[in-house]
């Protein structure tokens, strides 16, 4: 099974999600916020979430961390902030931590933070995954072998990722009806129905 999707943030501006759905898109992963420039919520998160749900799209979310995302305590702090932004909203796709901007020289500390982030999220009944690029994240920034228990959303432009992934972000310059800017395009190898049947992510 393959589903087609997009991921969006404030940079896509105002989105007509009904047109997006009519164009054949199955799912959307929405930026909720991050900690790379101080703690913040993406200003379009609530609007994008409401529009995507109203259009009947499957929705996931992601949280972007920065260079200070290091060690067990940091992971828990950011997980709590992510959950605060998500609120009581429900998601049929995973909720991800985006670690593409963590320092390459701190692979162990980043991996510790990712593990504690994911473990905390799971403890709160969220189906949690990890986002990053095929080489510069899963090879250069984390100890990938320690993260195999979580679903991966992997960016790889030009060729399919070498790592085991569930969602593949295959371009950052896609186009979709209903969005006036370029947009990331994704392919999912699973429908993640387990999230609904097992009542994860506030379902």
Residues designated catalytic:
7, 100
Phi, psi of 169 (to 5 degrees): -90, 110
**Integer Cα distance of 83 and 98 in angstroms:** 15
CA distances from 113 to 20, 75, 79, 158 (A): 35, 4, 10, 30
Q: Which of 141, 63, 145 is nearest to 103 (CA)?
A: 141
CA distances from 111 to 95, 122, 129, 135, 166 (A): 17, 16, 13, 15, 19
**Integer Cα distance of 61 and 91 in angstroms:** 8
Q: What secondary structure letter does DSSP report for 12? A: G
């Amino acid at each position: 099974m393959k589903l087609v999707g997009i991921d969006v943030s404030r940079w896509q501006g105002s989105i007509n999600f009904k047109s997006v759905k009519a164009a054949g898109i199955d799912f959307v992963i929405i930026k909720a916020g991050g900690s790379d420039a101080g703690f913040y919520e993406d200003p379009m998160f609530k609007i994008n979430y409401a529009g995507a749900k109203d259009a009947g799209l499957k929705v996931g979310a992601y949280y972007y961390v920065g260079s200070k995302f290091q060690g067990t305590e940091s992971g828990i702090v950011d997980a709590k902030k992510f959950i605060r932004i998500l609120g009581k909203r429900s998601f049929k796709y995973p909720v991800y931590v985006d670690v593409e901007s963590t320092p390459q020289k701190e692979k162990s500390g980043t991996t510790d933070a990712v593990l504690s982030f994911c473990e905390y999220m799971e403890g709160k009944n969220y189906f949690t995954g990890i986002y990053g690029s095929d080489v510069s994240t899963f090879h250069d920034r984390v100890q990938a072998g320690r993260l195999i228990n979580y679903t991966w959303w992997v960016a790889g432009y030009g060729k399919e990722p070498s790592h085991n992934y569930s969602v593949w972000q295959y371009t950052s310059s896609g186009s979709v009806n209903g969005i006036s800017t370029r947009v990331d395009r994704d392919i999912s190898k699973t429908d993640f129905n387990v999230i609904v049947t097992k009542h994860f992510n506030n379902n």
